[in-house]
Amino acid sequence: MIQPCADCPSLLLVDDNTTFCSVLMRALEKRGFAVTVANSVEAALPLAQANPPEYAVVDLKMEGASGLVLIQALHELDAETRIVVLTGYASIATAVEAVKLGATQYLAKPANADEIVAAFGHNASTALPLNAQPASVERLEWEHINRVLQEQQGNISATARLLNMHRRTLQRKLAKRPAI
């Protein structure tokens, strides 16, 4: 086990996926960070207030308050805190909102520790390089359908109603493999 480093920069990792937190915490500790983990915004706020971190990795969508609430609070505690937002629900609107609230960078999951550490070095105003192979419209549609299906606890009929789609059409789309 890696021993906590007194001279290492402090990092607050906030995500409701405990397995992801455990793996990412070990990877970030190996890269020289003193990591504190919280699994909700409500648990992270007192930790941040007691010891404002130099760096933070914040999931956007968690049980309870949104990660946007934490980004704003962290920025108010210390405007120099470098905040990377991770989310499986990437959108331009939330990326813009996160940066306005003080995030340094916005990454879509899955992101590895090296990508996160590299993101700490970016400035929000820096033009980001475009992905050489952006996701296709079909892939984005498939991801959106699956996200809505997950939010409906796998209920095909409820998902079809929310997407304003016939149930059989939805089932056909779900049966296809996601486009790259």
Q: Which of 113, 91, 93, 95 is nearest to 104 (CA)?
A: 95
Question: Residue 133: its pLDDT value, please?
Answer: 52
Question: Residue 166: its pLDDT value, please?
Answer: 93
Q: For 12-59, how does the pLDDT look when each residue is reduced to its tens digit (9 = 90+)?
A: 999 988 888 899 999 999 999 999 999 999 999 999 999 999 999 999
Amino acid at 16: D
With contact defined as beta carbons under 8 Å apart, do 146 and 105 qualify? Answer: no
Chain centroid to CA 170: how far?
27
* Whole-prediction pTM: 0.66
- Residue 56 DSSP SS3: strand
86-92 long-range contacts, Cβ below 8 Å, gap at least 24?
86/15, 86/57, 86/58, 86/59, 86/60, 86/111, 86/116, 87/59, 87/60, 87/61, 88/61, 88/147, 89/60, 89/61, 89/147
Give residue for tokens 């990326």: 95
Domains of the chain by start residue, with CATH? 10-120 (3.40.50.2300), 137-175 (1.10.10.60)
Question: Residue 50: its pLDDT value, please?
Answer: 92
Task: Identify the DSSP state of 102.
Answer: T
Question: Per residue of the chain (180 residues), what is the pLDDT tens digit?
Answer: 444 566 889 999 999 888 888 999 999 999 999 999 999 999 999 999 999 999 999 998 888 888 889 999 999 999 899 999 988 766 777 778 888 888 888 888 778 888 899 988 865 444 444 444 555 677 777 777 888 888 888 899 999 999 899 999 988 888 877 655
